[in-house]
Amino acid sequence: MLSDRQNEILEMAKRAGKVTVEDLAARYHVSLQTIRKDLNELCGARLLARVHGGAVLSSSVQNVGYDARRMIAADEKAAIGRAVADLIPDNASLFINIGTTTEAVAQALLYRTGLMVITNNINVAGLLRPYPEIEVVIAGGVVRRSDGGVVGETAVDFIRQFKVDYAVIGASAIDMDGSLLDYDYREVRVTRAIMENARHVILAADASKFDRSAPVRIGHMTQVDTFVTDHAPMTIRDICRDNELCLIETGQAEEDASSEKEMAEQSHKNFA
């Protein structure tokens, strides 16, 4: 039997995809140890899975709801989106696949010129459609109700008609061996076609993807050219280095900027 607080914590995790120890302790005015005990019991019942600083929904076969995924690491995804957009010049052609992080990339591309964007993501198409400097081409196929993704063999065949400059892809989970994972084999087939038909593949994924698992293999990190994330574990950094894969960590850039600011302020105080 779960306590009332544990039931509420479980419902919050279902809505947001993740809960943190500090936020829950502040919400319920209890100690961090009390919340850790609650999370341990929920994880023991296999309702949640522990991650650094909190817990996520425990499922390796079913994804978190799309609206909840938008809320997870929203600031990090926005920073990743801006960093990916900086890699794409005007007058380029590109694929953008399904995902909340790839939607953040589309948001960062809104005021670019001369882009041709081919997507199987209805949300991306709707976001870019009003902007006259961006031509939007949407794949045909089965529309997945849960997130507006277009999947299936028709979408795969459509994608294969193109050869573009860039592909921006996401993944539901990234294994420590570098495997890129997802939940829907139909979506995976579309993503593979996207990767095969782009000259430069950019993987965009926030650090929460390292804490998750999914059953269907998209491919491996060595099949992409650039990986943009907020923070990568050392194992993933080693894979990138050993395979000459360009790694961009937006969280590291923010930390460096913060450190430089602190040093400048300290220098000013010392001078004063």
Q: How far apart are CA 122 and CA 111, in angstroms?
A: 19
Average pLDDT over every residue of 192-198: 97
Q: Is the dihedral of CA 68, 74, 77, 81 positive or negative?
A: positive
For the segment(s) 4-58, the CATH number from 3.30.1180.20, 1.10.10.10, 3.40.50.1010, 3.20.10.10 is 1.10.10.10
56 has pLDDT over 90: no
- Which of the four pLDDT bands, split at 50, 70 and 90, describes residue 253? low
Q: Which residue from 209, 213, 192, 210 is spatially nearest to 201, judged by alpha carbons?
A: 192
Q: For residue 134, what is the enclosing H or E element?
A: strand 134-138
Query: Which fold would CATH assign to domain 68-252?
Result: Rossmann fold (3.40.50)
Which whole number is the average pLDDT over 161-169? 98
Torsion sign across C-alpha atoms 102, 105, 106, 107 = positive
Q: What is the pLDDT of residue 60?
A: 47
Q: What is the pLDDT of residue 18?
A: 82
pLDDT at 62: 47
Q: Where are the domains of the chain?
A: 4-58, 68-252
* Backbone φ, ψ for residue 172 (5° rounding): -75, -25
Q: How confident is the model at residue 206 (pLDDT cuts 50, 70, 90)?
A: very high
Which pLDDT belongs to residue 71?
Answer: 62
